[in-house]
Amino acid sequence: MSEENRRTIAMCEECGALYAAFEITAGEFRPIGQRDGCQCGCTEFTPVDDDSGLSLD
Ligand SMILES: [Zn+2]
């Protein structure tokens, strides 16, 4: 395990779709497996901090 980008859940600011995402820089998120951004074409994402037990593993 090396230090990697923080993994979180990000929500598309346009359509609200949720993606597992890496924080690539402070405040900037890229959905895993969605290099072009959201399916709707939006590339703006808001992190969703969820400690309720969601596991992405
Ligand atoms: Zn979207």
Kindly list the domain boundaries of the chain, sorted by start residue. Answer: 7-48
Task: State pTM to two decimals.
Answer: 0.71
Distance from the alpha carbon of residue 47 to the mean position of ligand 1, in angstroms: 13
Residues in the chain with pLDDT < 50?
Answer: 1
- For 16: left if phi > 0, alpha if psi spans -120 to 50, otherwise beta; the answer is left
What pLDDT score was predicted for residue 6? 83
- According to the model, what pLDDT value does residue 14 have? 97
pLDDT computed for residue 53 by the predictor: 56
Report the C-alpha gap between 36 and 43 in whole angstroms: 7
Sheet strands (E) in the chain:
7-12, 18-25, 28-31, 45-48
- Say how many Å lie between the CA of residue 2 and the centre of ligand 1: 31
- Note whether 22 and 32 are within 8 A (CB): yes
Span from the CA of 11 to the centroid of ligand 1 (angstroms):
8
Residue-wise pLDDT tens digits, 44-54: 999 987 655 55
What per-residue confidence (pLDDT) applies to 13? 96
The pLDDT value recorded for residue 57 is 56
